[in-house]
Structure 1
Amino acid sequence: MPDLTPADDSHATAFALDTSVIPLGERALRGILDHVIAVGDEAETPYLEVKSPLDMSSKATTAKIAKFLLGAANRRPHEAARNFHGYAVLMIGAQKGSAPGVPRGTEAHELEDRLRPYLGPQFPAFEFGRIGVGSDHEVLFVIAQPPEDGQTIFPCHKVFQGDDRRDSLEDGAIYVRGTSNTRPARSGEVLALVERARGGGKPPINLEVDLVGGIHHVDRVDEVLEQLRGYQEEQFSKKLEAEAKSAFAPASLQLASSVFGSPKPLSPDEREEALAAWRNKKPEHIAEGREHFLGVGLPGAGIRVVSRDRFVAKPHLTLTFHNCELLAHLDPDDADFEKAVEPVVRRQHPLGSSFDPSALRFAPRGYPVAWRNRGEDAEVVLTPESFRPNVPWTTGQDDYVILTRDPEASSVEVSWILTEDGNDDVITGEFRVVAEGLVDAAELFTAVFFKAD
């Protein structure tokens, strides 16, 4: 057997895979073999799978090959065409650093006969290639044809239960090629294959995008928070008891003095230091208080999308709310006066620092909604698995609150841009949303933090 072990890392670079070729013929197949010897399993992609030596007469090997062919046949044509002109290759008998191969003697027609019960009578033909490695071994190549628009979905036709669950096959299951393996199809992938079977003449993308909920404007927020801070300082300076039953803040905001609490006793010097530190953090306190106040005080918003007569695979939809800002939406039950108006000295928890779970906001892996403020605009990005034809897809209204920055705005312009996985087209659109009526911050603050019993 010839020595096919790469001498050093530069050898791997020399055998970088050229996927612009059609993987047929000895020269093209040897290029693939050299690449696999150089990098091993790292060579695996949606269009190339690598198996170390297998027993070609075993049922388990037949099932592995069938699974690869099923996954390769269930690819989307425009994605498959990016590499190897749409072909996909399964190599058997090679690994990083060597190509031990398998014993010579595997006949293509015999392999086809063993595969047919799994693939079914309508399965497209596939190519078979080999490269000798010594007098009695060879590396085998099973080469799947490029998928085409109009082809049916190819399900598995026979059950196989292997020792390794990953090698098992189920009758009726639809398999697809993942990043480097073959796996059962997800719902969006099945629907994409249905579109392929319809002939590939996809209609243009026609989205209806609407806002669920409102865009708000609240007047005098900073002014009211300033007044409340003044009241905090006044109460602190007068050393009022935490149990004081009532007090009146400027701008006719009636506040129960019990909310201000009674910090632990401080010496006069400590009191002056605490007050000075509190004053120095005024901008930070105002900003944080504003976010909490408006987050618990205003209803959240969401997005509703309908794709008319068209399946959209793995969409990436970005909406821009012009001259707006986004704040985290918070549960109204989490309203906390001291988060809206920072006290000069916080009340001490009887057991020390307490954990505040409401401050944590974790999105689960794969969560399809992301948002941020970008300059003077607000941006929401949606990445669902798919938009199904004529089926509304709607986000929840518990992610963010939208506010217009323009106090005179009666409506807000919203523009959007959509890209689809495997589609080079970029779709854009826009719509306008009528802004909610102007709300006075003093009235809203009273309603949120001083609810009637």
Structure 2
Amino acid sequence: MDTDIIPLGERALRSILDHVLSVDDEAETSYLEVKSAIDPTSKAGVAKIAKFLLGAANRRPQEAARHFRGNAVLVIGAQKASAPGIPRGVEAHELEDRLRPYLGPQFPAFEFGRISVDDEREVLFIIAQPPQDGQTIFPCHKDFQGQDRRDNLEDGAIYVRGTSNTRPARAGEVLALVERARGGGKSSIDLDVEIVGSISRVDRIDEVMEQIYHLEEEQFSTPQEPATQTSPPAFLASGLASSLFGRAQPLSPQKRAERLEAWRSQKRTYIARGREHFLGVGLPGVGIRVVSRDRFVAKPHLIVTFHGCEVLDHLTADNADYEKIVEPVVRQQNPYEVGLDPSVYRIMPREYPVAWSNRGGDAEVVLTPESFRPNVRWESDQDDYVILARNPQVGAVTVTWVLTEDGNDTVTKGEFEVPTGDLIDAADLLKAAFFEDA
């Protein structure tokens, strides 16, 4: 088995699993432990996982770095020639909550991997992070008494990884960990931050939005013959198609006047909301690429600020809806449409590592992944948000970033310039995004 790899990703995990299937208990080392059948939802199972993580965290950095780039792996649900797995459904955050009483509040992050056995079972991998010079000693924080005394945990005890098991530390090992803690603190962070994708520039946004809203009001205010109500006016036939086809039953003059007045009172809100939908659909998404040079960064908190820019939710072409750009004076009711429209809500998975918002006149993106690994590229997806320069005439924008690390008081900062994309006319963008076939 090649141990000069980072034990993340399906290929690496399958290589480890194949090794376990070949040699079983002989696979166990200071960086690899195997448990054929434990229940991660039981007290005994949680205690066994906690013991492994405590021992892995209390390794010496130079020794740990010889294999798996300093990581250590616990394989659950495998043995020689067989991988029965464990029942699916072990949620990472739930297991972390069960482990926290044993590990304490300052314990380093750890990661999870899975390989499916069948529809109901999987092999679970617990990956401990590389130990670092300057890290404190990590004692156990809670007692556990199991049926097998080898599984017991003692509050305040220090556990270390032996050649093939986790055990209480000896005096020399405790002193070595004290020296690790005196290792001068963590080394400085050298971070490369790049923007993936284009910072957009769009001209005449407000003008085009006002124009199409004026057209909506004009069409509603101008009585039309029933025979012509399904034909778009000349202005929209040239590329900006109308949403006013097939109106509901005609309103009385009084009702029409009341509805138009109510629409006018909300026009600013409608335009602001429609502008977000228009640009979210029409503009390309942006991502951020990060590489930490020769340094493991635990639980980073990276704030990237695009100065003089605006951030908006990125929407796919399938979300394009002209009536979300221009709110009709009278919206037709679909009898088959029930409840709220889910497309207007941004629903993110729990602990999603990317968040974005507007701060004053700047766009801010916050990245909170589990870690940045040495010389390994971390990149966010390009379908989260779009970045728009507020001044469409600028050729570049300034990007600054601020990084903090869990357990480290040092603040690392950076700044660079990013060229903007080609200037786009809002009318052309609207036609391309919503009426390409018109």
For Structure 1 versus Structure 2, the TM-score category normalised by the shorter chain is: 0.5 to 0.7
Question: Kindly tell me: are residues 308 and 415 of structure 1, through their superposed partners in 2, closer, same or farther at Cα, counting changes over 3 Å?
Answer: same
What is the match of residue 213 of structure 2?
Answer: 229
How far the C-alpha of 1:189 sits from its partner, in A, is 6.1
Q: Would the aligned equivalents of 1:206 and 1:307 in 2 still touch at CA under 8 Å?
A: yes
Q: Bigger shift: 188-197 or 301-310?
A: 188-197
How far the C-alpha of 1:226 sits from its partner, in A, is 1.1
What is the match of residue 235 of structure 2?
Answer: 249
What is the match of residue 413 of structure 1?
Answer: 398
Please point out which of 186, 194, 200 is paired with 2:111: 186
Q: Would the aligned equivalents of 2:312 and 2:386 in 1 still touch at CA under 8 Å?
A: yes
Question: Kindly tell me: are residues 63 and 292 of structure 1, through their superposed partners in 2, closer, same or farther at Cα, counting changes over 3 Å?
Answer: closer
Alpha-carbon distance between aligned partners in 1 of 2:425 and 2:321, rounded to the nearest angstrom: 19
1:27-80 per-position Cα deviation (integer Å, ceiling 9, x unaligned): xxxxxxxxxxxxxxxxxxxxxxxxxxxxxxxxxx9999987765544446xxxx
Q: Would the aligned equivalents of 1:413 and 1:432 in 2 still touch at CA under 8 Å?
A: yes
Q: Would the aligned equivalents of 2:203 and 2:424 in 1 still touch at CA under 8 Å?
A: yes
Q: Would the aligned equivalents of 1:203 and 1:309 in 2 still touch at CA under 8 Å?
A: no
Question: Kindly tell me: are residues 156 and 274 of structure 1, through their superposed partners in 2, closer, same or farther at Cα, counting changes over 3 Å?
Answer: closer
Question: Kindly tell me: are residues 67 and 284 of structure 1, through their superposed partners in 2, closer, same or farther at Cα, counting changes over 3 Å?
Answer: closer
How far the C-alpha of 1:306 sits from its partner, in A, is 0.8
1:188-209 per-position Cα deviation (integer Å, ceiling 9, x unaligned): 9623237779976864311110
Q: Could you say what secondary structure the match of 2:383 adopts?
A: coil
Taking structure 2 as the reference length, the TM-score comes to 0.62
Taking structure 1 as the reference length, the TM-score comes to 0.60
Question: Kindly tell me: are residues 347 and 207 of structure 1, through their superposed partners in 2, closer, same or farther at Cα, counting changes over 3 Å?
Answer: same
1:133-190 per-position Cα deviation (integer Å, ceiling 9, x unaligned): xxxxxxxxxxxxxx76656589899x9xxxxx9xxxxxxxxx9994312599536962
Q: Could you say what secondary structure the match of 1:366 adopts?
A: coil
What is the match of residue 190 of structure 2?
Answer: 206
Q: Could you say what secondary structure the match of 2:101 adopts?
A: coil
How far the C-alpha of 1:385 sits from its partner, in A, is 0.6
Alpha-carbon distance between aligned partners in 2 of 1:216 and 1:156, rounded to the nearest angstrom: 43
Once the two structures are aligned, what percentage of the paired residues are identical?
Answer: 50
Question: Kindly tell me: are residues 149 and 286 of structure 1, through their superposed partners in 2, closer, same or farther at Cα, counting changes over 3 Å?
Answer: same
What is the match of residue 312 of structure 1?
Answer: 297
Q: Bigger shift: 413-422 or 355-364?
A: 355-364
Question: Kindly tell me: are residues 180 and 232 of structure 1, through their superposed partners in 2, closer, same or farther at Cα, counting changes over 3 Å?
Answer: same
What is the match of residue 84 of structure 1?
Answer: none
Alpha-carbon distance between aligned partners in 2 of 1:367 and 1:379, rounded to the nearest angstrom: 16
Q: Could you say what secondary structure the match of 2:352 adopts?
A: coil
Question: Kindly tell me: are residues 301 and 268 of structure 1, through their superposed partners in 2, closer, same or farther at Cα, counting changes over 3 Å?
Answer: same
Please point out which of 304, 327, 340 is paired with 1:342: 327
1:259-293 per-position Cα deviation (integer Å, ceiling 9, x unaligned): 54413321111000001111111111110110010
Q: Would the aligned equivalents of 2:72 and 2:128 in 1 still touch at CA under 8 Å?
A: no
Q: Would the aligned equivalents of 2:302 and 2:404 in 1 still touch at CA under 8 Å?
A: yes
How far the C-alpha of 1:351 sits from its partner, in A, is 3.6
Alpha-carbon distance between aligned partners in 1 of 2:429 and 2:302, rounded to the nearest angstrom: 33
Name the aligned partner's letter for residue 340 of structure 1: I
Question: Kindly tell me: are residues 450 and 193 of structure 1, through their superposed partners in 2, closer, same or farther at Cα, counting changes over 3 Å?
Answer: same
Q: Would the aligned equivalents of 2:46 and 2:98 in 1 still touch at CA under 8 Å?
A: no
Q: Would the aligned equivalents of 1:249 and 1:255 in 2 still touch at CA under 8 Å?
A: yes
Aligned length: 310
What is the match of residue 16 of structure 2?
Answer: none
Q: Would the aligned equivalents of 1:320 and 1:416 in 2 still touch at CA under 8 Å?
A: yes
Alpha-carbon distance between aligned partners in 2 of 1:181 and 1:317, rounded to the nearest angstrom: 29
How far the C-alpha of 1:423 sits from its partner, in A, is 1.5
Alpha-carbon distance between aligned partners in 1 of 2:392 and 2:47, rounded to the nearest angstrom: 66
| CA RMSD, Structure 1 to Structure 2 (Å) | 3.9
Alpha-carbon distance between aligned partners in 1 of 2:337 and 2:354, rounded to the nearest angstrom: 36
What is the match of residue 43 of structure 1?
Answer: none
Q: Would the aligned equivalents of 2:72 and 2:130 in 1 still touch at CA under 8 Å?
A: no
What is the match of residue 423 of structure 1?
Answer: 408
Q: Would the aligned equivalents of 1:320 and 1:380 in 2 still touch at CA under 8 Å?
A: yes
Question: Kindly tell me: are residues 396 and 231 of structure 1, through their superposed partners in 2, closer, same or farther at Cα, counting changes over 3 Å?
Answer: same
Question: Kindly tell me: are residues 280 and 67 of structure 1, through their superposed partners in 2, closer, same or farther at Cα, counting changes over 3 Å?
Answer: closer
Question: Kindly tell me: are residues 452 and 186 of structure 1, through their superposed partners in 2, closer, same or farther at Cα, counting changes over 3 Å?
Answer: closer
Question: Kindly tell me: are residues 230 and 74 of structure 1, through their superposed partners in 2, closer, same or farther at Cα, counting changes over 3 Å?
Answer: same
Q: Tell me, which stretches of 5 or more residues in structure 2 are unaligned?
A: 1-42, 65-69, 77-85, 87-95, 113-125, 136-176
Name the aligned partner's letter for residue 278 of structure 1: W
Q: Would the aligned equivalents of 1:244 and 1:257 in 2 still touch at CA under 8 Å?
A: no
Q: Does 1:281 align with 2:269?
A: no
Name the aligned partner's letter for residue 344 of structure 1: V
Q: Would the aligned equivalents of 2:306 and 2:364 in 1 still touch at CA under 8 Å?
A: yes
How far the C-alpha of 1:449 sits from its partner, in A, is 1.7
Alpha-carbon distance between aligned partners in 2 of 1:64 and 1:352, rounded to the nearest angstrom: 47
1:73-106 per-position Cα deviation (integer Å, ceiling 9, x unaligned): 4446xxxxxxxxxxxxxxxxxxxxxxxxxxxxxx
Alpha-carbon distance between aligned partners in 2 of 1:345 and 1:325, rounded to the nearest angstrom: 31
Question: Kindly tell me: are residues 193 and 178 of structure 1, through their superposed partners in 2, closer, same or farther at Cα, counting changes over 3 Å?
Answer: farther
